[in-house]
Amino acid sequence: MLNGKIAVVTGASRGIGKAIAMKFAQLGATVVINYNGSAQKAEEVKQSIIADGGRAVIKQCNVADYDACEAFIKEVIDQFGRIDILVNNAGITKDGLIMRMSEEDFTNVVDVNLKGTFHCIRFASRQMMKQRSGRIINMSSVVGISGNAGQINYAASKAGVIGMTKSAAKELASRGITVNAIAPGYIETDMTNVLSDKVKEETMKQIPLGRLGQTGDIAAAAAFLASDEAGYITGQVLAVDGGMAI
């Protein structure tokens, strides 16, 4: 149970982040729904949490913007006085083969997926250190473990998230803060719906459990890592991928 906890979920307007926000609210947390551009969708997430009897607020912030993240986290602390759980879920893809990848597409993906994760850890961990408790969960990817043709930018950002997770886990452990990563496989969301049927068929062949992942699969893992029961787990990468990374 997450009763009384304040949980910040970045990129919670859609997909995996939305499922995590809804799950945390069901478990009793007050959820801060972060989004970048999808204001209407963030509002829908908030309304469905409230309709279920949960608590949620919305905060817009582009996690790639260092100063905006400082203001965002400060607003949360001013409003609630603490942050118990931070889920760095916001992420984007801009796929392309190496020869065609622009510097801009490389930088944008790293800025959101990797630097965005650093920015939120940077500001939230200060508060968690004062509390001497906290849970940080970073969204990596199976691609950050195995690599993927056409995703040199995304794979680098997600492998970076793993290094960041382990480093932050070592640095923050003495203050009672755990830091773990989840490495989803192929999860059905807007991010993967754009892929061609051919790519989907090829991916299916690489999933031993023989089905695509659902957002609820990731939300369940996040709920466990955020729970009191996971208090002795830190610096780990939990693959939730139907066996893809084996």
Shortest separation between residue 232's beta carbon and ligand NAP, angstroms: 25
Shortest separation between residue 106's beta carbon and ligand NAP, angstroms: 15
Alpha-carbon distances, residue 138 vs 43, 73, 79, 99, 153 (angstroms) = 24, 16, 23, 30, 17
Task: Tell me how many degrees the CA angle 199-90-82 measures, rounded to the nearest 5.
Answer: 155
91 vs 134 by CB, closer to ligand NAP: 91
35, 66, 154, 186: which one is catalytic?
154
- A 10 A CB-CB count for 61 gives 24
Q: How many residues bind ligand NAP (CB under 6 A)?
A: 30
Tell me if 118 contacts ligand NAP by CB under 6 A.
no
Angle between helices 152-172 and 116-131 (to 10 degrees): 10
In angstroms, the CA 144 to CA 185 distance is 10
64 vs 156 by CB, closer to ligand NAP: 64
Tell me if 30 contacts ligand NAP by CB under 6 A.
no
In angstroms, the CA 193 to CA 214 distance is 12
Q: Is 154 a catalytic site residue?
A: yes
Number of H helices, E strands in the chain: 10, 7
Tell me if 186 contacts ligand NAP by CB under 6 A.
yes
Tell me if 38 contacts ligand NAP by CB under 6 A.
yes
Tell me if 15 contacts ligand NAP by CB under 6 A.
yes
Residues 53-72 binding ligand NAP (CB under 6 A) are 62-64
- A 10 A CB-CB count for 78 gives 8
Question: Which span (13-21, 145-153, 173-181, 226-234) binds ligand NAP, by CB under 6 A?
Answer: 13-21
Q: By CB under 6 A, name the one of 2, 9, 14, 244 that touches ligand NAP.
A: 14
In angstroms, the CA 207 to CA 142 distance is 11
Contacting residues toward ligand NAP, per CB under 6 A: 10-17, 34-38, 62-64, 89-92, 112, 139, 141, 184, 186-187, 189-192
Task: Report, as residue numbers or ranges, the catalytic residues.
Answer: 154
